[in-house]
Amino acid sequence: MKEELKKFLDEKKEIIWIKTRNGKLVKEILKEYLSFFEEKSAYCYSEKKVINLITEKDEKIGSSLYEVLDNLYPLGIKKIPIYLLIEDSYNELVVDKNINYLKEIYDTRQDSSRFNFTVIIVDKESLIEELKAISGTIEEKEKPKTTPKDWIEEYIINYADDNNLKIKSENFEEIFELLKKGIKKVSLKNETKEDPFLKNMVFVKGGKYKPSFASDEKEVFDIEVCKYQTTQKIWTEIMKNNPSNMKGDDRPVETVSWWETLEFCNKLSEKYGLEPVYDLSYSKQGILKINQIDEESISPEIANFKKTEGFRLPTEVEWEWFAKGGDLPIKEVITPKNFQDIYKNDTLERGWGIYESNSGTHNVGLKKPNLLGLYDCLGNVWEWCYDTIGYLNKDNLFYYLSGDSKRRLRGCSWNDYLDMNSLIDYFDRNGNTKSRNIVEANGKGNKCGFRVVRTATNHK
């Protein structure tokens, strides 16, 4: 196509019709050709809009093909060559007044060598009969289909044609990426029962409760929570390193900063074809944004995690909800006293604290789980939460202040006292665990780990 188009341009052909879907390639060829001209004007008319191909800015020279031709036609008598590329405008091209205008451009060029106006038409349709006598034609050769991608591309083209959809060649890569994500999402549903990581995600039904650190009731939506703290095995698989001081595949990963856990969550999301929750484009400057499904990424102060898809850290409200067993204590009418007694009397079977930990972490899942089947919500390692430090007001489900360098952690570690006499201090009168900690977001220590959650969708 490149050599044919350049040949027509050198010959100063008035009308050039190119049958192709690759308008992007035609523009590139035209721009390369014009790069040798000191003075030139080139425009692209597509979908009733005009773009200057030299400046790549919108031009207000008409909202219909006829208006654009009418405004550019007089400029053709100047020394500066004028090029108009018409793309995806077949319905306008077959209108009589536009056909007649193109014929007039051809006739004017024949009568005056000074008239310097070239029209290049790019369309998936063949040259119309009325213009055959005055047009140079180029028909892109169909490339041989040698890969599955080639066949998928043909299917996309045929589907778009059958459903009257406008698809350009430059859209193919975007469509392929969406297709790959779609395949991963379907696979995610099918793999949940088989994948060693996904099968550990526990559905936690939402509900209302009053957190130990808030003055009013909060409502938690449905989430999925990993039954284990993030292990060194899955961290190493995703991040290709293991920063932990106390090594062991099934031990919780530790010595990871808050920012590093966000990076892990994003990479884990990508592995399973999910939209990453965190926009970390400016994380080195301490700036975070939250990706919302089908929306622009937004400020972390006003994020709506119900509109996220991938894996993430829990908010502190979410953490306390699932750590205490969600709505199960409510459903089973467990009183605050009974709730405390349940956990007080088997603390040595529930959490790794300073007395039983032997000064270090242990494999996850060895102690008794909570009412939801979640392990190590108390002890082993502190768990990073999303929140910064501040007072949770009435309308918020989390507290985040950009610029604050500190983050909240919950759940205690192997170095905290979890003996039967002091454990009751970790619960309020509603059975909520009150254990809280504060660490710098860039801070790392062998007592700090995390577990992942994600917003529940399509749960049956």
Give the count of beta carbons closer than 10 Å to the beta carbon of residue 74.
Answer: 10
For strand 49-52 and strand 278-279, is the pairing parallel, antiparallel, or unpaired? unpaired
Say yes or no to pLDDT of 332 above 50: no
Band of residue 431 on the pLDDT scale cut at 50, 70, 90: low
* 3-state class (DSSP) for residue 25: helix
Q: What pLDDT, on a 0 to 100 scale, did the predictor assign at position 334? A: 40
- Is residue 44 assigned to a domain? yes
Q: Are residues 349 and 243 in the same domain?
A: yes
- Is residue 460 assigned to a domain? no
| The most confident of 119-133, 244-258, 289-303, by mean pLDDT | 244-258
H/E stretch holding 119 reads strand 117-123
User: In sequence order, what are the residues at sequence separation of 6 or more whose Cβ sits closer than 8 angstroms to the Cβ of residue 185?
Assistant: 272, 273, 274
Band of residue 339 on the pLDDT scale cut at 50, 70, 90: very low
Q: What pLDDT, on a 0 to 100 scale, did the predictor assign at position 422? A: 39
Residue type for position 456: A
Q: What is the pLDDT of residues 357-378, one digit of tens each?
A: 899 999 999 999 988 999 999 8
Q: What angle do CA 222, 225, 227 make, to 5 degrees?
A: 145
Band of residue 231 on the pLDDT scale cut at 50, 70, 90: very high
Q: Which of 141, 174, 207 is the last residue of a domain?
A: 141
CA atoms within 13 A on the CB side of 289: 9
Q: Are residues 217 and 135 in the same domain?
A: no
The CA–CA distances, whole Å, from 75 to 41, 61, 86, 107, 444 equal 10, 12, 17, 16, 67
Q: Are residues 339 and 449 in the same domain?
A: yes
Say yes or no to pLDDT of 319 above 70: yes
Band of residue 324 on the pLDDT scale cut at 50, 70, 90: confident
Mean pLDDT of all residues in 298-303: 96
Say yes or no to pLDDT of 450 above 50: yes
Q: Are residues 46 and 172 in the same domain?
A: no
Say yes or no to pLDDT of 343 above 70: no
Q: Which two tokens stand for residue 420?
A: 């039967």
Q: What pLDDT, on a 0 to 100 scale, did the predictor assign at position 423? A: 40
Q: Are residues 447 and 315 in the same domain?
A: yes
Say yes or no to pLDDT of 204 above 90: yes
Average pLDDT of the chain, as a whole number: 86
Q: Are residues 181 and 237 in the same domain?
A: no
Q: Are residues 156 and 232 in the same domain?
A: no
Q: Bigger pLDDT: 3 or 236? A: 236
How many Å apart are CA 345 and CA 40, to the nearest integer? 85
Mean pLDDT of all residues in 113-141: 88
Mean pLDDT of all residues in 220-224: 96
* 3-state class (DSSP) for residue 27: helix
Q: What pLDDT, on a 0 to 100 scale, did the predictor assign at position 426? A: 52
Q: What pLDDT, on a 0 to 100 scale, did the predictor assign at position 400? A: 95
Say yes or no to pLDDT of 166 above 80: no
Q: Bigger pLDDT: 333 or 33? A: 33
Q: Are residues 122 and 271 in the same domain?
A: no
Q: Are residues 272 and 419 in the same domain?
A: yes
- Is residue 254 assigned to a domain? yes
How many Å apart are CA 202 and CA 373, to the nearest integer? 8
Band of residue 348 on the pLDDT scale cut at 50, 70, 90: low
Residue 6's domain comprises 2-141
How many Å apart are CA 131 and CA 127, to the nearest integer? 7
Give pTM, 2 decimals.
0.62
Q: What angle do CA 250, 252, 258 make, to 5 degrees?
A: 150
What CATH number is associated with residue 122? 3.40.50.300
Q: Are residues 124 and 152 in the same domain?
A: no
- Is residue 158 assigned to a domain? yes
| The most confident of 31-45, 191-205, 221-235, 366-380, by mean pLDDT | 221-235
Say yes or no to pLDDT of 427 above 50: yes
What CATH number is associated with residue 233? 3.90.1580.10
Percentage, residues of the chain above pLDDT 70 = 88
- Is residue 167 assigned to a domain? yes
Mean pLDDT of all residues in 406-415: 93
Say yes or no to pLDDT of 70 above 60: yes
Mean pLDDT of all residues in 7-11: 88
Domains in the chain: how many in total? 3
Mean pLDDT of all residues in 400-414: 93
Percentage, residues of the chain above pLDDT 90 = 49
Q: Are residues 131 and 155 in the same domain?
A: no
Q: Are residues 35 and 128 in the same domain?
A: yes
Q: What pLDDT, on a 0 to 100 scale, did the predictor assign at position 340? A: 52
